[in-house]
Structure 1
Amino acid sequence: MTDHKKGRPLRRRSVLKALAAGVGALAAPSLIHHSIRRAHAAPGTIRMMGGPTVALKDWSQFEKDTGLKMEFTSFNVDDVGALYNEILANDAGERFDLINTLAGVQKPMVKQGQVAQLDTSRLKNYAGIADSVKRSPVLYAGDDKDWAVPLYYNADSFGYYPEKLGLARPPEALNWDILLNNEKTLGKASIDGDNIALMIGGMYLKDRKLAEIADPANMTASEVKTAADYMIERKKAGQFRNLWKTYDEQIANFVNGEVLVQRCWEPAVKDVKGRGQDVEYATCSDFHINWMHATSIPVQAAARENLEEIYRALDWFLGGSYAAELAVLRGYTGSRMDLGLEYAKAAGWPADKIAAVEANITKVKTKFLNPNFWIGGAPDDLAAHDAEMARFRNA
C-alpha cells in the first residue's frame, strides 16, 4: 500500500490508527507494552488478553489438561475505546494468541478483518453449547459464521447491604429504584463510569415507560441523550457517591463503607463477602442486564505456527474444569455448565462446592426468565455514547 501523495509506503500501524479513529473515541491503552519483549509467546505458551474475571487464581489444571503454559494479561474490557486502541493501533494480535472481550465488542473487529473465523470442527466442546447462547444478539454477527467462542455469561444486577438498608435477601426480588431513585441510598450509590451506566439508564426509562427507547444497549444519538439527561438529573440530586472504573474500585466502595448499593460485577460481591462483609447480589423483579464474555483468535495469531495449540487452549475454556471453577470462583455461568457439573462430581469435589455449581445453574435460569436486556458494549453510534457519557461524568 502506498501513499501516492508523498510517494512512500503506508505503514500498517498508521492505517489501523485511522480505522480506530472511525470506531469511537480512543482512551489511553492500559497494557504495559515494554514488559512484553517478544512479539509473541514461546512455543508451548498461550498468551491471552482479557478481563480480570476471566483469569483463574491457579492455571495448574489448564497446564495439566493441555500441556501448555498460560500467560494472562488483564485488561479492562468494558472500556471499548481503550480495547479498540489496543487491537487496532497497538497491534494486540501480534502479541496475543487469544483476545477476550465483552461479547458484542468483537463485531466491528470482524467487519474490519481483525478476527479470524473459527473452525469449530477443531473444538470438540463447541457443538454442545446451546444455540440460544451461540446465536445470542451480542455474539452472532448475522452471517452464519462463527467468530467468537462464548466463554461465560450472566444476568447482572447490583450489590447491596440488606441489613443496613432494611432490604430482603435473594431470591426475594428487588428493583432498580434502590440504585437509581431511592431516598435511603441517596449519596450512597455507585454505578459504572463508562457507557454501561447510560445503557442502564436507558433500560430503566424503557422498563418504566418513561421514554421511547428501542434497544437500550444500542441507542440512537437522541435516545442516549435522553438516558444521559435522566442520569445527570439523578447525579445532580446527589444519588451517586462516585462512578467506578475498575474492579478494585468496586471492592473499595464496599470495603471503605462509603457505598451501600452499587451496580457491580457479581465477583465483587463474592470477594467482599469473603472479607466478612454482609453484602448480597440482587435478584430483580423488573430487569437484569444480560451479558456474555467471548474469546476470539486475532488474524495475526491464526497465521502463526502454534494454531493447533491455540485451539487446544480455546477448547479447554469450553470444558468442565473451567466451567466448574468459574462458577465457584466468580458466580458466572460457563457455556458448558453440563460439563462443569460432571467435572465437579467426577473430580470428587466436596458437597458444598458441587452445591455451588448447581446453585449457579439454577440462579441464571431464574434470572433469565425476566424480560432482559443484552449489552454488547459497542453501540452503532459509539461516538454519541462517548460524548453523552462525558457529559454525565462531568455534570
Structure 2
Amino acid sequence: MTDTAKKKAKGISRRSLLKTASAAAGLAAGSGVITGFPTIWAQNPITLRQFGTGVSNLNAIAQKCKEDLGITLEMAATDSDAAAQRAVTQPNSYDIADVEYWIAKKVYPAGVLQPMDVKKLKYFDKIVPLFINGKLAPESVVAQGTAPHTVGFVESQDAKSFATEPTEWMTMVPTIYNADTLGIRPDLVGRQITTWADLMDPAYKGKTSILNIPSIGIMDAAMIMEAMGELKYADKGNMTTDEIDKTIDFLIKAKQEGQFRAFWKSFDESVNLMASGEVVIQSMWSPAVAAVRSKGIPCVYQPLKEGYRAWGGGLGLAAHLKGAQLDAAYEYINWYLSGWVGAYLNRQGYYSAAMETAKQHMSADEWGFWVEGKPAQGDILAPDGKVMEKAGAVRDGGSFEERMGKVACWNSVMDEDRYMVRRWNEFIAA
C-alpha cells in the first residue's frame, strides 16, 4: 500500500468528517430520529443512569431532559477519583459516564465504554476545535498535558488505543470545560496577585490551599514551581519520576513549614475556606468563586501571567448499551449539545462544547458578559435566578478567547501516574 493510500485508510479529514456527519444528521432529522423525542420516549419509557462529578451532574439538566425528551435521567455525583474507579470496576452500574478527559485516558482502554459514531452526532460540526485538534485558533499552540483531542478519537469501533487524528469514532462527546486559576480574597491578600508563585509567598503562610485530587493538584504544583523558577518541566502533564520527586519534595517542605491551611476535594470545601477567610489564596473553580461572591464576600478568579490550567469533560457510552437504550443515549447526547444545556453551563462560568448552539439560548447581555468579556449591561443572573454579578461587572480574565487562549496545560494522566499518586499521598500524609 502506498503512503497516500495508507493515509487515506487511516485518517479522515475534518472537512470530510463534518460533511459526512452533517449529511447523516440531516437524514436522521428528516426521518424523525432526531426530533419528536417526547412522543417516542413517552410511549416507550427509557431510563438512563448517568454518573460523574458534581460539576455537570445537575438536577436541572435531568428535569429538562425529561421535559424535552421524555427520557428519565438517574444521576449520581462523585469526586473525580471515585468516578475513574467506578467507570472501570462497576461498568454495569451506569449507562452514561460523565467524566473528564484525563479520566477517559485511564478508563477507555479498559473496554468499558463504546466509541460513538460521528455520523450519529447531529452537532459534531458545532464542537469547538479544542476538542478536535487541540487548537482554539489555527495559530494556537497545543497545551501540555492530556489535551482532550489526544484521547478523543479511536481508529475503529473495536479499537482500545487512541487515534492521533480525528476519525469517525469519538471516545466521548465533549460537553463542558474551563480554564482554572487561583481564587483570591482581594480584601485580605493586601497586594496585587500576578503569578502562580504568589501562593507560596511567606506572607500568606497558613492561609493557602491547593486541591487534593492528585492528577489535578500536581498540575497546580507544577505551575507554581515553574513560576518560582524551581523547576522547568519537559512536559508538566507527563513528568518523569525525578520531576515528580522534586515536585512532591517541594510540597512536603512547604507543608511542614506551615504554608498550607488545608487541602480541599469538594466544591463546598473550597467555598467555605475562602468565605470564612481561613484561606486568602488557593486553587479554585470558577463557580466556587461566584458562590463566595454571592454571599457578599469579595473574591476574584485571578488571571496569572503564566496562564491557566484547563480541564474538559464529556459524555461516554457504556459498552453494554444497545438497542433502544443506545438509541436513547444518542438522542440525549444530541439534545445535550443542542443549546439549552450549553447555555445553562455557560451561566455557571463554565463553557459549552457547542458555543454556537448555546448562544441561541442566552440573551445578548449574558453572552456579552460570559463569553465576550464585555461589561454587563444589567444584573447577571445565575441559573437559579439569583443575582450573580451586578450591572457593570466584567468577567474575571475577560473573554472566552482570552481565557482559553492562555491555557498552559490540561489536567493529565501521566505515564508514571501510579508513582505520582503514591508520592502525592505521602505529601498529604506528611
Measured against aligned partners, the alpha-carbon deviations of 1:300-341 in whole angstroms (never above 9, x if no partner) come to 12x35311111111122222111111111x200111112111
Q: Is the 8 A contact 1:323 1:333 kept in 2?
A: yes
Q: Is the 8 A contact 1:341 1:358 kept in 2?
A: no
Query: Normalised by the size of structure 1, how large is the TM-score?
Result: 0.79
Q: Is the 8 A contact 1:199 1:227 kept in 2?
A: no
Which residue is 1:340 aligned to? Answer: 358
3-state SS of paired residue (1:85): helix
Aligned residues: 336
Which residue is 1:33 aligned to? Answer: none
1:190 aligned to 2:209?
yes
Report the RMSD for the aligned CA atoms in angstroms.
2.2
Equivalent AA in structure 2 for residue 305 of structure 1? A
Which residue is 1:71 aligned to? Answer: 74
Equivalent AA in structure 2 for residue 389 of structure 1? W
Measured against aligned partners, the alpha-carbon deviations of 1:148-182 in whole angstroms (never above 9, x if no partner) come to 111111110011111221345xxxx7211222x21
Percent of aligned pairs with the same amino acid: 24
How far apart in 1 are the matches of 2:341 and 2:72?
15
Q: CA deviation at 1:108?
A: 3.1
Q: Is the 8 A contact 1:159 1:279 kept in 2?
A: yes
How far apart in 2 are the matches of 1:125 and 1:204?
38
Equivalent AA in structure 2 for residue 146 of structure 1? M
1:382 aligned to 2:417?
yes
Moved more, 56-65 or 283-292: 56-65
1:286 aligned to 2:320?
no
1:146 aligned to 2:175?
no
Q: Bigger relative contact order, structure 1 or 2, given CA contacts below 8 A and separation 6+?
A: 1
Q: CA deviation at 1:87?
A: 2.3
Moved more, 244-253 or 200-209: 200-209
Relative distance call for 1:75 and 1:232 in structure 2 (3 A) is: same
Relative distance call for 1:165 and 1:63 in structure 2 (3 A) is: same
Equivalent AA in structure 1 for residue 408 of structure 2? N
Q: CA deviation at 1:50?
A: 1.3
Measured against aligned partners, the alpha-carbon deviations of 1:268-300 in whole angstroms (never above 9, x if no partner) come to 111111122111111111121011112211101
How far apart in 1 are the matches of 2:362 and 2:53?
25
How far apart in 2 are the matches of 1:149 and 1:158?
28
Which residue is 1:365 aligned to? Answer: 401
Q: CA deviation at 1:360?
A: 6.4
How far apart in 2 are the matches of 1:282 and 1:316?
34
3-state SS of paired residue (1:214): coil
Which residue is 1:229 aligned to? Answer: 249
Which segments of 5 or more consecutive residues in structure 1 lack a partner in the other structure? 1-41, 346-350
Q: How does 1:1-395 map to 2 (within 5 A)?
A: 43-59=45-61, 60-77=63-80, 79=81, 82-89=82-89, 91=90, 93-136=91-134, 137-141=147-151, 142-143=162-163, 144=167, 145-168=169-192, 174-179=194-199, 181-195=200-214, 196-301=216-321, 303=322, 305-328=324-347, 330-345=348-363, 352-359=365-372, 363-370=399-406, 372-376=408-412, 378-395=413-430
Structure 1 residue runs of 4 or more that deviate by more than 6 Å after TM superposition: none
Q: CA deviation at 1:191?
A: 0.6
Q: Is the 8 A contact 2:179 2:407 kept in 1?
A: no
How far apart in 2 are the matches of 1:120 and 1:353?
31
